[in-house]
Structure 1
Amino acid sequence: MLDPTSTAAIAAVLGAVGSGLANEAGKAAWESAGGLVRRIVGREVRAPRGHAELDGIAQQVHDAVRHDPALARAWTAFARSAPSPGRPGRVPALGASTRFFTDRDGERKALSREASRKADGRPRIAVLHGPQGIGTSALAIHWGCAEARRFPDGQLYADLRGTGTDAGGVGGTDPSTVLRLLLQQLGIPAAEIPPGHDDRQALLRACTAERRMLIVLDHARSAAQILPVLTSTPGVFVVVAARHPLPGLDAVGIPVGPLADKDARRLLAEVARAGNVPLDRAALPAVLARCAGSPFALRAAAARLTAQHWRQEGRPAADAARTAVADAIHALAPDAARALRLLAQRDWPAVGAPLAAATLGLDETSAERVLAELAAAHLMESAPSGTSGHGGTYWIRPLIREYAATEALREDGLAAAEQAVRDAVRWCVDFAEPASRAALSQGWRLGEADRPASDGTRYTDAGGALTALRDELGNLLQAVGAAEELGDTDAVFRLNQALWPVQLKMGCHDELLPALRAGVRATEARDPASREAARMHTLLGLNLTELGRWPEAESAFTAAARAERAAGHFRGQATAIESLGLLRLREWRFQEAYDCFESADRALDGVSADGEGARDLPRARALLERHRGRALRGLGQWSRAQARLESALAFFRETAEAYNTARTLTDLAETFEASGRPVDALPLIDEAIAALADEQAHYPLIHLRALRRRCVDERAGA
Structure 2
Amino acid sequence: MRYRLLGPVELTVGGELVSLAQPRHRGILAYLLLHANQLVSQDQLVEAVWGGMEPASATAQIHVAVSRLRGSLRRHGLPDPIATRSGGYALTAHEDDIDAELFAAELAAARDTGQRRQHHDTIRRLDSALGLWRGEALAGVTAAYAPAVRHRLHEQRLAAQELRLDAELAVGRHAAAVPVLTQLVKEHPLREALVCQLMLALYRSGRLSDATNVARHTRQLLAEELGLGPGPQFLKLEHAILNADPVLDLTDATVGLARPPAPLPAQLPPGVPHFTGRCHELATLDAAWPGTVCVITGPAGAGKTALATHWAHQVRHSFPDGQLYLDLRGFDPLCEPLTGLESLSRLLRGLGLEAARLPGAADEATALLRSMLAQRRVLLLLDNARDAAQVRPLLPASENCAVLVTSRQPLVTLDAHRIEIGGLPQHEAAELLSHYAGSRMRHEPEAAQQMLRYCQLLPLAIRVAGARLLAEPELALQTLAAGLADERSRLDILELDDLAVRASLGASYRTLDQPTARAFRLLGVLQLPDLEVRTAAALWDLSPTAALQILHRLHAARLLERSGERYRLHDLVRLFAMERHAEGDPAEGEAALVRVATCLLGAARRATNLLRPGQSLGGEQELSEGRYANLIGLSDLDAARAWFDAERVNLIALAGQLAESGEPLCRYPMRLQLVMTMFLAGAGHFADWQHLCELSAAVARRVGDTLAEAVAAMNLGAIASRQGRQAQAVATLTRALALSRKAKRHSTEAAVLSYLASAHSELGDHDSAASCHEEAIRLRRQVGDDRSTAHTLANAALHYLVQRRYADARRHLDEALRIKYEKGDLGGAAASEVQMAGVLAAQGLLTDAVHAAQAGLDLCRRYGDRHNEWIALLLRAVAHRRLGRWRQSDDDAAECIAVCVHLGQLTAANFAAALTDQPLVGADEGDPVPAWLVSALEQAGA
Aligned partner (choices 543, 562, 566) of residue 738 of structure 2: 562
Which residues in structure 2 correspond to 1:153-164 (within 5 Å)? none
**Residues of 1 paired with 2:674 and 2:558: CA distance?**
37
Q: Residue type matched to 1:631 in 2?
A: H
**Residues of 1 paired with 2:610 and 2:602: CA distance?**
13
- Judge conservation of contact 1:509–1:547 (CA < 8 Å) in 2: no
- Check 1:281–1:712 CA distance in 2 against 1; reply closer, same or farther (3 A cut): same
Which residues in structure 2 correspond to 1:429-508 (within 5 Å)? 429-448=601-620, 458-487=633-662, 488-508=665-685
Aligned partner (choices 708, 715, 723) of residue 539 of structure 1: 715
Of stretches 696-705 and 473-482 in structure 1, the one that deviates more from structure 2 is 696-705
**Residues of 1 paired with 2:631 and 2:871: CA distance?**
28
Deviation at residue 346 of structure 1 after TM alignment: 2.5
Q: Which residue of the partner structure matches residue 395 of structure 1?
A: 568
Aligned partner (choices 776, 785, 803) of residue 635 of structure 1: 803
Q: Residue type matched to 1:637 in 2?
A: R
Deviations 1:474-530 (A, max 9, x none): 2222221232232223322212212123213212222333222111111111115x2
Q: Which residue of the partner structure matches residue 274 of structure 1?
A: 295
- Asked which structure has the greater RCO (Cα within 8 Å, sep 6+), the reply is 1
SS in 2 for 1:382: strand
% of aligned pairs identical?
A: 20
Q: Residue type matched to 1:480 in 2?
A: A
**Residues of 2 paired with 1:493 and 1:536: CA distance?**
8
**Residues of 2 paired with 1:498 and 1:647: CA distance?**
26
**Residues of 2 paired with 1:554 and 1:107: CA distance?**
63
Aligned pair 1:366/2:546, yes or no?
yes
Q: Residue type matched to 1:459 in 2?
A: L
- Check 1:656–1:710 CA distance in 2 against 1; reply closer, same or farther (3 A cut): farther
Aligned partner (choices 614, 617, 620) of residue 788 of structure 2: 620
Aligned partner (choices 260, 267, 271) of residue 273 of structure 2: 260
- Check 1:146–1:357 CA distance in 2 against 1; reply closer, same or farther (3 A cut): farther
Aligned pair 1:341/2:513, yes or no?
no
- Judge conservation of contact 2:849–2:879 (CA < 8 Å) in 1: no
Deviation at residue 670 of structure 1 after TM alignment: 3.4
Aligned pair 1:708/2:879, yes or no?
yes
Aligned partner (choices 595, 598, 614) of residue 774 of structure 2: 598
Q: Residue type matched to 1:399 in 2?
A: L
Aligned partner (choices 756, 776, 792) of residue 580 of structure 1: 756
**Residues of 2 paired with 1:429 and 1:474: CA distance?**
14
**Residues of 2 paired with 1:689 and 1:448: CA distance?**
37
Which protein has the larger Cα radius of gyration, Structure 1 or Structure 2?
A: 2
Aligned pair 1:423/2:592, yes or no?
no
Q: Which residue of the partner structure matches residue 517 of structure 1?
A: 694
Deviation at residue 626 of structure 1 after TM alignment: 2.5
Which residues in structure 2 correspond to 1:52-451 (within 5 Å)? 260=273, 273-275=294-296, 302-304=384-386, 317-383=497-563, 391-410=564-583, 412-448=584-620
Aligned pair 1:685/2:685, yes or no?
no
**Residues of 1 paired with 2:882 and 2:531: CA distance?**
52
Q: Which residue of the partner structure matches residue 253 of structure 1?
A: none
**Residues of 2 paired with 1:287 and 1:654: CA distance?**
67
Deviation at residue 373 of structure 1 after TM alignment: 0.6
Q: Residue type matched to 1:430 in 2?
A: G
Q: Which residue of the partner structure matches residue 180 of structure 1?
A: none
Q: Normalising by structure 2, report the TM-score.
A: 0.41
Deviations 1:81-106 (A, max 9, x none): xxxxxxxxxxxxxxxxxxxxx99987
Q: Which residue of the partner structure matches residue 171 of structure 1?
A: none
**Residues of 2 paired with 1:393 and 1:513: CA distance?**
27
Q: Which residue of the partner structure matches residue 202 of structure 1?
A: none
Deviations 1:386-432 (A, max 9, x none): xxxxx42200000111012112112x232223332232222222322
- Judge conservation of contact 2:837–2:850 (CA < 8 Å) in 1: yes
Runs of 4+ with >6 A deviation: 102-109, 145-148, 261-272, 276-280, 284-291, 449-457, 714-718
Deviation at residue 433 of structure 1 after TM alignment: 1.9
Deviations 1:544-575 (A, max 9, x none): 44445545444432232111101111001111
- Judge conservation of contact 1:537–1:559 (CA < 8 Å) in 2: yes
Deviation at residue 653 of structure 1 after TM alignment: 5.8
**Residues of 2 paired with 1:357 and 1:375: CA distance?**
16
Deviations 1:192-239 (A, max 9, x none): xxxxxxxxxxxxxxxxxxxxxx9xxxxxxxxxxxxxxxxxxxxxxxxx
Deviation at residue 636 of structure 1 after TM alignment: 3.0
SS in 1 for 2:667: helix
Q: Residue type matched to 2:524 in 1?
A: A
Q: Residue type matched to 2:273 in 1?
A: A
- Judge conservation of contact 1:341–1:405 (CA < 8 Å) in 2: yes
Deviation at residue 331 of structure 1 after TM alignment: 1.9
Q: Residue type matched to 2:516 in 1?
A: A
Q: Residue type matched to 1:394 in 2?
A: Y
**Residues of 1 paired with 2:722 and 2:382: CA distance?**
46
Deviations 1:423-478 (A, max 9, x none): 22222223222222222214322345897999799434333213212212222222
**Residues of 2 paired with 1:146 and 1:546: CA distance?**
49
- Judge conservation of contact 1:516–1:539 (CA < 8 Å) in 2: yes
**Residues of 2 paired with 1:513 and 1:460: CA distance?**
29
Deviations 1:142-194 (A, max 9, x none): xxx99986999xxxxxxxxxxxxxxxxxxxxxxxxxxxxxxxxxxxxxxxxxx
- Judge conservation of contact 1:317–1:323 (CA < 8 Å) in 2: no
- The answer for unaligned runs of 5 or more in structure 1 is 1-101, 113-144, 153-213, 215-257, 292-298, 384-390, 608-613
The two structures, once aligned, show a CA RMSD in angstroms of: 5.0
**Residues of 2 paired with 1:459 and 1:286: CA distance?**
46
**Residues of 2 paired with 1:682 and 1:104: CA distance?**
75
- Judge conservation of contact 1:290–1:316 (CA < 8 Å) in 2: no
**Residues of 2 paired with 1:418 and 1:662: CA distance?**
41
- Judge conservation of contact 1:379–1:400 (CA < 8 Å) in 2: yes
Q: Residue type matched to 1:486 in 2?
A: S
Deviation at residue 351 of structure 1 after TM alignment: 1.9
- Judge conservation of contact 1:534–1:560 (CA < 8 Å) in 2: yes
- Judge conservation of contact 1:421–1:482 (CA < 8 Å) in 2: no
Q: Which residue of the partner structure matches residue 88 of structure 1?
A: none
SS in 1 for 2:861: coil
- Judge conservation of contact 1:582–1:593 (CA < 8 Å) in 2: yes
